[in-house]
Amino acid sequence: MVSTAAVAIGAIAELTLDPNLKYNVLLPISIVMILTGLIRNYVMVLIRPNIPVMPRVKITEQQYINKGQILLQNGAVLTPDGFKMRKELMAKLLGEAQFVAVKQNNNAITNDAADQGATQQQKPENPLSDPNASDAMMSMAKGNLANYIPQTLIMWWVNHFFAGFVLMKLPFPLTVRFKEMLQSGVMTNDLDARWASSISWYFISMFGMNPLFNLILNDATLQSDVSGISNDPTMGMPGAAGGINPEQTMRELSNDITIAPYENGYEGLEEKILKIYS
Which residues bind to another protein, rule: CB under 8 A? 3, 5, 17, 22, 26, 30, 73-74, 76-77, 167-173, 201, 204-205, 207-212, 214-215, 218, 223, 263-269, 272
CB 167 within 8 Å of CB 196 = yes
| Backbone torsions φ then ψ of 106, nearest 5 degrees | -105, 5
Tell me whether residue 64 or residue 202 sits nearer to another protein (CB atom). Answer: 202
Tell me whether residue 133 or residue 168 sits nearer to another protein (CB atom). Answer: 168
Tell me whether residue 63 or residue 218 sits nearer to another protein (CB atom). Answer: 218
Residue 81 CB burial class (10 angstroms; 0-12, 13-18, ≥19) = exposed
CB of 277 vs another protein, minimal distance in Å: 15
CB of 54 vs another protein, minimal distance in Å: 20
Contacts for 216 with CB less than 8 Å, ≥ 6 apart: 34, 38
CB of 152 vs another protein, minimal distance in Å: 20
**Identity of residue 74:** N
CB 257 within 8 Å of CB 69 = no
Distance between CA atoms of 240 and 55, rounded to whole angstroms? 11
Tell me whether residue 73 or residue 105 sits nearer to another protein (CB atom). Answer: 73
The alpha carbon torsion through 111, 113, 115, 117 (nearest 10 deg) reads -110
CB 68 within 8 Å of CB 253 = yes
Tell me whether residue 98 or residue 214 sits nearer to another protein (CB atom). Answer: 214
The DSSP output letter for 169 is E
CB of 201 vs another protein, minimal distance in Å: 7
Residue 12: C-alpha distances to residues 19, 29, 183 (Å): 20, 28, 16
CB of 229 vs another protein, minimal distance in Å: 15
Q: Three-class SS of residue 127? A: coil
Distance between CA atoms of 64 and 80, rounded to whole angstroms? 21
CB of 172 vs another protein, minimal distance in Å: 4
CB of 262 vs another protein, minimal distance in Å: 11
Tell me whether residue 47 or residue 229 sits nearer to another protein (CB atom). Answer: 229
Tell me whether residue 116 or residue 198 sits nearer to another protein (CB atom). Answer: 198
